[in-house]
């Protein structure tokens, strides 16, 4: 049963998810508007802004599939939305846990929007050093990563208390 404080904080958690979506979509719109596919601009010795399209998931997982992965990842994102919404309703009073879920929700939906609009996810952040390049990513991916780190931190804190 959700606690009363969980329900009261639900608008806050959804607002954070919406903020992540808006920031993600705004940055992707800027990239699509100002960069041709494959363009790259060096910002520092370890950071470039690029325009790449990812038809797969993290690290281009399943990018070479025949197209079915688009709908698979859209469906997965929508299922995750339902699960996260239920978790937020039940555990919204747990600040770190709910913040983590909100960021993951916003990031997941930001990438789902790309898949629905374009058939791929727009990635544009490229980090590299000494000839090694980390796979390009975007604001949605960053929100998901920060959310995952917060989830791990929350669980480790909870386990330490037990």
Q: Give the number of residues written for the chain.
A: 162
Q: Residues near 95 by Cβ (< 8 Å), separated by ≥ 6?
A: none
Q: One of 24, 114, 141, 154 is an active-site residue; which one? A: 141
Please give the Cα distance from 35 to 40 (Å, whole number): 8
Token representation of residue 18: 């919406």
Please give the Cα distance from 52 to 125 (Å, whole number): 9
Q: Residues near 65 by Cβ (< 8 Å), separated by ≥ 6?
A: 55, 56
96 φ, ψ to 5°?
-65, -45
Whether 114 sits among the annotated catalytic residues: the reply is: no
Q: One of 24, 114, 123, 154 is an active-site residue; which one? A: 123
Please give the Cα distance from 77 to 132 (Å, whole number): 30
Whether 154 sits among the annotated catalytic residues: the reply is: no
Give catalytic residues, as residue numbers. Answer: 123, 141
């Amino acid at each position: 049963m959700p606690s009363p404080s969980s329900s009261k904080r639900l608008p806050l958690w959804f607002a954070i998810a919406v903020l992540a979506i808006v920031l993600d979509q705004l940055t992707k719109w800027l990239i699509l508007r100002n960069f041709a596919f494959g363009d790259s601009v060096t910002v520092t010795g370890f950071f470039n802004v690029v325009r790449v399209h990812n038809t797969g998931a993290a690290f281009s997982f399943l990018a070479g599939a025949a197209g079915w992965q688009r709908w698979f990842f859209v469906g997965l994102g929508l299922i995750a939305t339902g699960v996260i919404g239920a978790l937020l309703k039940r555990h919204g009073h747990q600040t770190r846990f709910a913040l983590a879920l909100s960021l993951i929700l916003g990031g997941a939906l930001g990438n789902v929007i790309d898949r629905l609009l374009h058939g791929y996810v727009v990635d544009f952040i490229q980090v590299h050093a000494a000839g090694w390049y980390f796979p390009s990513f975007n604001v949605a991916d960053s929100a998901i990563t920060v959310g995952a780190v917060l989830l791990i931190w929350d669980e480790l804190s909870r386990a330490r208390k037990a």
